[in-house]
Amino acid sequence: MTRATVTVFPDCAPVEVRVGDNLFQCLTALEHSVPTECGGQGICGKCRVQVLKGETEITDVERSWLTPDELEQGMRLACRQTVRGDMWVALPEGVEVDHSAKLRGFEDLTDFPADTGIEKRLVALPARPGEGVRSWAGLLPGEPASGPSVLRALARATATGARELTAVTRDGSVVALEEGDTRGIGAVLAVDIGTTTIAAYLVDPGGAGVVATAACANSQRRWGSDVLSRIALAAEDEDHLTQMQRSVRDDINQLILEVTKLAGVPRERIYRVTLVGNATMEHLFLGVDPRSLGMAPYSPVTSSLAEFPPSAVRLALPDSARAAFAPGVSGYVGADSVAGMLAADMDVRPELTLLIDVGTNGETMLGSSAGILCGSNAAGPAFEGARIGQGMRASKGAIERVSIDDDVRLGVIGNVPPRGICGSGLIDAVAAMLNAGVLEPTGRIADPGECPAPLRDRVLPGESGNSFVLATSDQAMAGHPVMLTQKDIREVQLAAGAIAAGRKSLCHSRGVHESDLERVMIAGAFGSYIDPGAAIRIGLLPNVPLERVHSVGNAAGYGACMMALSREAEERAARLAESAEYVEFGSDPRFQDLFVECMEFPT
Ligand code: FES
């Protein structure tokens, strides 16, 4: 078998690979974060790399995604390239996303009333068990939990002459024995497994709140950015399922290492772990074939609370920790949404609340303590920068703010020349274009002659409609303009229209008007960055007074922390998952009409 080397710039040593291997597969196997939405199927155009040295053959797919100039400079789509010999490859700058794990929008859980069921009691060990005590185990403040680990720890302590132990009990059983007095040391862990980002929160049940957070990209991205690609790959080959399970587990174990280091809490002192995520993430994490989520009626294998010992999924935690995946409502309203509803107190507060998580799947929840309706629809990934010609994630060089008066003003992440546009920039840009009269409510980009004079030069006519230049080639990083095409605007209409139609469908079902909404909560990292006024302008959010709109950051992470801290919160989540009514938008006869109606931007 012929071998060759691939060297990834700027600073990686050459790595040996097989000639004939796919370049995308090689790079992802080497743990490089190559942008992708299609998992290497050649349909997203995101896996751009620059081949600095080495033989390549340009494919038709690459010609359709890359300009002649880019091809000339060696830009290629990694998934369309085969390793033919030694190669030098440069990855695009700034592909890393802001994987901040901050719980924006909520308090920090300080003084949250913990109710973990965990107690720590000091045990004094005499030289001998003494009168009336038949064994050393009789000195413990409860029965040892099943399994020999507590007995082994006890034997070790007696053999070494230890005089003081701390017994950790859960619901009366001793689940761990720790040497010395460790009563002040302990934590619970919450993990939010997002399709894109995984976040971990270490929380002190003693009242100090969140003591450490860490987050990383979900390494499963190499199998595609959306759940459907991952479901398809897992269904196609059991190896893929195993690899995806291993990949998410490795990510979480790395995060456990980071949060425990940051907080100075040994991982043996984590006693309770709550995981949340959408149903696909749950199935892949548990190693359960997710194919039933990919076909009607999209039923999950499980949606109830799943408890397991950490060793069953090879989490780097002792089995004395009680681990559980939170319950979900349905295949497309998962445990993360339930955690979000819990965080928003939708089950206990009387105000009519709309909670939206804008992602590839727009999960929408509407209700109050009087009952909750929820639904989900494929909003498309436009607001994550996907399917937008120059769309990108919120990383360095992404346009994140746009305003237009007699000129176009841009805010760019990292204060560098722009190289693309992320979701919040997209919403701003479309809202500003509508206000400036460059964009019609139908979504058509006006002709130059129909636009205000100072903006006319920015409209470029093309065969499939006009484009609007946000950053000229002089201003942009790559030397060619950053613009929104007519097709990009259509993608925004599809995404915003789907979310708006879902919301309106729920309002119809509940018999309320959008103006009745007392709280509009937008969850997810993305929600923290968007301008609510612009989101209302394009119809993504309902037209309610701005003071009713709240960006609540990672509501799912917060809800997971609540469940990790409290059995009562976990029971609330179980009741919520059970009682929330799932509305299948596909079977709502009004939905299609609402969708068509919502495709137009508000006037
Ligand atoms: S086109 Fe290559 S990963 Fe999507």
- Over residues 277-301, the pLDDT tens digits come to 999 999 999 999 999 998 888 899 9
Beta strands 549-551 and 15-18, pairing class: unpaired
Q: How far is the CA of 601 from the centre of ligand 1 (A)?
A: 31
Question: What is the rounded CA–CA span in Å between residue 431 and residue 540?
Answer: 11
Q: How far is the CA of 77 from the centre of ligand 1 (A)?
A: 7
Q: Which atom of ligand 1 is nearest to the CA of 42?
A: 1
Give yes or no for residue 107 having a pLDDT over 70. Answer: no
Pair 382, 492: CB distance under 8 Å: yes
Give yes or no for residue 200 having a pLDDT over 90. Answer: yes
Q: State the residue for tokens 């938008």.
A: 585
Q: How far is the CA of 8 from the centre of ligand 1 (A)?
A: 18
Task: Catalogue the E-assigned strands of 71-182.
Answer: 75-77, 87-90, 118-124, 164-170, 173-179
CB-based contacts of 591, cutoff 8 Å, min separation 6 = 501, 502, 505, 585
Question: What is the rounded CA–CA span in Å between residue 233 and residue 327?
Answer: 25
Q: CA separation (Å) from 213 to 25, 343, 537?
A: 31, 18, 35
Pair 404, 433: CB distance under 8 Å: yes
Q: Which atom of ligand 1 is nearest to the CA of 35?
A: 3
The whole-model pTM stands at: 0.81
What is the reported pLDDT for 223? 84
Q: Which two tokens stand for residue 454?
A: 């100072």
Question: What is the rounded CA–CA span in Å between residue 236 and residue 599?
Answer: 35
**Mean pLDDT across the chain:** 88
CA angle 404, 407, 410 (to 5 degrees): 60
Question: Which stretch, 161-175, 237-251, 560-574, has highest mean pLDDT?
Answer: 560-574
Alpha carbon nearest to ligand 1 atom 1, residue:
42
Helix (H) / strand (E) element for 593: namely: helix 591-598
Give yes or no for residue 92 having a pLDDT over 60. Answer: yes
Q: Which two tokens stand for residue 40?
A: 């290497």
147: left (phi over 0), alpha (psi -120 to 50) or beta: left
SS3 category, 301:
coil
* Residues flanking ligand 1, CB < 6 Å: 24, 36-38, 40, 42-47, 77, 79
Q: How far is the CA of 286 from the centre of ligand 1 (A)?
A: 27
What is the reported pLDDT for 97? 41
Alpha carbon nearest to ligand 1 atom 3, residue:
40
Handedness of CA 309, 311, 317, 319 (dihedral sign): positive
What is the reported pLDDT for 101? 47
Q: How far is the CA of 42 from the centre of ligand 1 (A)?
A: 4
Alpha carbon nearest to ligand 1 atom 4, residue:
44
Question: What is the rounded CA–CA span in Å between residue 13 and residue 7?
Answer: 6
What is the reported pLDDT for 411? 94
DSSP assignment, residue 108?
-
Q: Comparing 182-186, 366-370, 428-432, which segment has the lowest mean pLDDT?
A: 182-186
Q: How far is the CA of 247 from the centre of ligand 1 (A)?
A: 20
DSSP assignment, residue 447?
P
Residue type, 180: G
Q: Which atom of ligand 1 is nearest to the CA of 41?
A: 4
Question: What is the rounded CA–CA span in Å between residue 382 and residue 385?
Answer: 5
Q: How far is the CA of 404 from the centre of ligand 1 (A)?
A: 33
Query: Which of 48, 66, 79, 221 for mutating ligand 1's site (highest number of atoms within 8 Å of CB)?
Result: 79
Crossing angle between the packed helical segments 567-579 and 335-343, to the nearest 10 degrees: 110
Q: State the residue for tokens 């997971």.
A: 560
94 pLDDT tier (thresholds 50, 70, 90)? very low
Question: What is the rounded CA–CA span in Å between residue 18 and residue 20?
Answer: 6
Give yes or no for residue 95 having a pLDDT over 80. Answer: no
CA angle 306, 587, 344 (to 5 degrees): 45
Task: Read off the pLDDT of each residue in 395-415 and give the average, rounded to a whole number.
Answer: 89
Give yes or no for residue 34 having a pLDDT over 90. Answer: no
Q: Which of 372, 362, 453, 363 is nearest to 406 (CA)?
A: 453
Beta strands 353-357 and 519-523, pairing class: parallel
Helix (H) / strand (E) element for 522: namely: strand 519-523
Handedness of CA 70, 75, 78, 81 (dihedral sign): positive
DSSP assignment, residue 352?
-
Q: How far is the CA of 229 from the centre of ligand 1 (A)?
A: 12
What does the pLDDT look like over 425-452, one tens digit per residue? 999 999 999 999 999 999 999 999 999 9
Q: State the residue for tokens 């002792």.
A: 318
